[in-house]
Structure 1
Amino acid sequence: MTVTRIAYQGEPGANSHIVCAEHYPEAEAVPCASFEDVFAAVESGDCQLAMIPIDNSLAGRVADIHHFLPTSGLHIVAEHFLRIRFHLMGLPGTAIDDIKTVHSHVHALGQCRNLIREHGFTPVISGDTAGAAREVKEAGDPTMGAIAPPMAADIYGLDVLATDVEDEDHNTTRFVVLAPDPVVPAQGSGPTVTSFIFNVRNLPAALYKALGGFATNGINMTKLESYMVGGEFAATQFLAEVDGHPDDLGLARALEELTFFTTEVKVLGVYPADPFRSS
């Protein structure tokens, strides 16, 4: 696949932009205001790929993505993990003691509480981490600081006043890459992940029975999440991820058994496991 444009949600310098630059350096990274815009960019053919955050080690799953994936018509073709790093930045020539208010996304502020408390900063919520850096640059106020990814300092011409200010050094986000067509690795080519959704039948112990085939066939399930569909409060749809390739005998048998207890099984993607999983 020739990739010339890859869409991501956020402003230039956001973590999603960093992942695009690391793994698709030759492609143009295209910022989008919302996840809907990201999906639309690929569905329309304007971009060949989308880079989407799906899980964070501190904040959990990224809201809304699980609702877009099943109906998007796109396929997961890769995954990438990014160690999240935040820097405190301000206008050129600013010292850390000049900062009074610190701006960032609500999650980033919550992940940098130690810095904020230590310096007595007043936190101000912005819509995006990289957007906070842009706001500081545009405001021209030396008392304003931003907590943003390292790339944002270069993009918006800010000075880095403190590096790696996040409270936890294990803060990691998992991203998936989406494409219009599936790109399935060859069986036996290396560790593989299979992502799929399913709806259980309205029967007693249906979920227990549906998952039994994975246990009996020795399949490691790394993710199982339920969520509401169509406004119903009964959690009947599940997103699951397992180690293995659908052509492997054990996984093929487990998926076949799954169909007996479900009304729908849809594979969202079969893709190489990122080396981070085994690190």
Structure 2
Amino acid sequence: MVRVAYYGDVGSYSEEASLKFFKHAELRPCRRFKDVFDYVVSKEVDFGVVPIENSLEGSVGEVYDLLKDFNVMIYGEVQLRISHCLIALPGVELGSIKYVYSHPQALAQCSKFLDRLGVDVVPYHSTSSAVRMIRERGLKDSAAVGSLRAAELYGMKVLARDIQDNPNNYTRFLVIALHDHEPTGNDKTSVIIGLPHIPGSLYRALHEFAIRGINLTKIESRPKKEVVWEYIFFIDFEGHRLDSKCLEALNALRNSVPFMKVLGSYPKAT
């Protein structure tokens, strides 16, 4: 059976994404993003699953940094609709809740509901871990923002469902491995580039895609940790790195930028 490490605890959205992609797998929860990467590189697992961006809250910067620093590739992506619940101990009523725990992004995604509730929000390292913590400590004045699956797994009560501010709340997860995916005909490719700090360098780099009719789906800048106020760029584009026009663009780019890393090609999420 395939072995998969994922960020979060049992009942987390990353676990849901893992099961959506692999159906059947031996799953290993991790408390840190770095742990997922470490397990993949050490071959203790075959794949890792980490969140990379949310449609409302934006990108997960730490994961982008780890993609640059670790010798891994992207094997796949998963898109998951996020439906948050307010979860408490059995027997607890909504009016008795004073504190709400969850991952900072989950709390931000439910800010309007939580403001109306008039509670103190407390950041926790993951949604599912917050649910488990309340269960283990028996906190009757507290609730967690998490998934329906987490509530069911830990035998908790759902006080309210779909409490996110925006119904169009999706998180994109990456499946990482020591290799990428073979071509399917409906693929994406991700690369990192570093650019010289001169006018027009980004334009010239992107021009290699434009002249070949390659559609870019995302550009994300991250600080270059070695030099203050300089940046590297993460680029997603349609096509597989082995497709002829993509291969041409990558070869041209490699010869014109000081740094490039191909993160891999993988099927588009459906």
Q: TM-score if structure 1 supplies the norm length? A: 0.90
> Structure 1 residues 143, 204: closer, same or farther in 2, change over 3 A?
closer
1:206 to 198, 201, 207: 201
Counterpart of 1:265 in structure 2 is: 260
Counterpart of 2:113 in structure 1 is: 115
Which consecutive unaligned segments of at least 5 residues does structure 1 have? none
Structure 1, 76-85 or 143-152: larger mean CA deviation:
143-152
The alpha-carbon deviation at position 122 of structure 1 amounts to 2.6
Matches of residues 2-13 of structure 1 in structure 2 within 5 Å?
A: 3=2, 5-13=3-11
For residues 135 and 21 of structure 2, the distance between their equivalents in structure 1, rounded to whole angstroms, comes to: 28
For residues 163-215 of structure 1, what are the alpha-carbon distances to aligned partners after superposition, in whole Å with 9 as ceiling and x for unaligned? 11111111111111011123322xxx321101111222354422211211211
1:196 aligns with 2:194: no
1:253 aligns with 2:248: yes
Identical columns (%)? 36
2:52 partner SS: strand
Matches of residues 75-86 of structure 1 in structure 2 within 5 Å?
A: 75-86=73-84
Counterpart of 2:269 in structure 1 is: 274
For residues 17-36 of structure 1, what are the alpha-carbon distances to aligned partners after superposition, in whole Å with 9 as ceiling and x for unaligned? 11112222321221112111
For residues 260 and 181 of structure 1, the distance between their equivalents in structure 2, rounded to whole angstroms, comes to: 23
Which consecutive unaligned segments of at least 5 residues does structure 2 have? none
Counterpart of 2:49 in structure 1 is: 51
Matches of residues 105-254 of structure 1 in structure 2 within 5 Å?
A: 105-185=103-183, 189-254=184-249
1:32 aligns with 2:27: no
1:193 partner SS: strand
2:203 partner SS: helix
Give the alignment's Cα RMSD to 1 decimal.
Answer: 1.7
2:61 partner SS: coil
Q: TM-score if structure 2 supplies the norm length? A: 0.93
Counterpart of 1:88 in structure 2 is: 86
1:274 partner SS: coil
1:19 aligns with 2:14: no
For residues 138-180 of structure 1, what are the alpha-carbon distances to aligned partners after superposition, in whole Å with 9 as ceiling and x for unaligned? 2213222111112211222101111111111111111110111
State the one-letter code of the partner of 2:54.
N
For residues 229-271 of structure 1, what are the alpha-carbon distances to aligned partners after superposition, in whole Å with 9 as ceiling and x for unaligned? 3431243422111001233333233223223320232211111
State the one-letter code of the partner of 1:78.
G
For residues 118 and 201 of structure 1, the distance between their equivalents in structure 2, rounded to whole angstroms, comes to: 49
